[in-house]
Amino acid sequence: MKLLEFGRHAAAGMVAASLATVSFAAPAGAFVNEIRGGVYAHDQFGPAHEPENADINGEILFDSPDFLSWMFSPRPRFGGTMSGNGGTSIVYMDLGWTIDLGTKFFI
């Protein structure tokens, strides 16, 4: 039953994320640089296998402001992770760097 409830929350989150992607994709020169989303599954192959414990994550990365160029232009990032089993959920804000290694890889 918990898995079904989590599935409904996951579906709603994916729809919301796709709508957010569409709304931020249009303006040229917008300050939003990237939108990310994902699902984390906990200990799927370990001894404490938790099949019903998955978290939903979403992040928005913004263009690097000019005043951060001395730090190799990190992008401000705002995100959150919602616990799928009623555990701890978080909201965070930090800086992220992207290192370009060509067209097929990045760090």
Is 46 among the domain residues? yes
105 falls within a domain: no
The residue segments making up the domain with residue 65 are 2-96
How many domains does the chain divide into? 1
Does the pTM of the predicted model rise above 0.75? no
Comparing C-alpha atoms, which of 62, 63, 67, 99 is closest to residue 79? 62
Taking residue 98's Cβ as centre, other Cβ atoms within 10 Å add up to 15
What is the residue-level pLDDT of the chain in tens, covering all 107 positions? 444 454 555 555 554 554 444 444 445 556 898 999 999 887 767 776 666 678 899 999 999 999 999 999 999 999 999 988 888 899 999 999 988 788 887 66
Residue 106 domain flag: no
pLDDT at 3 (0 to 100): 47
29 within domain boundaries: yes
Q: How far, in Å, CA of 16 to CA of 80, rounded? A: 14
User: pLDDT (tens digit, 9 = 90+) per residue, 13-41?
Assistant: 554 554 444 444 445 556 898 999 999 88
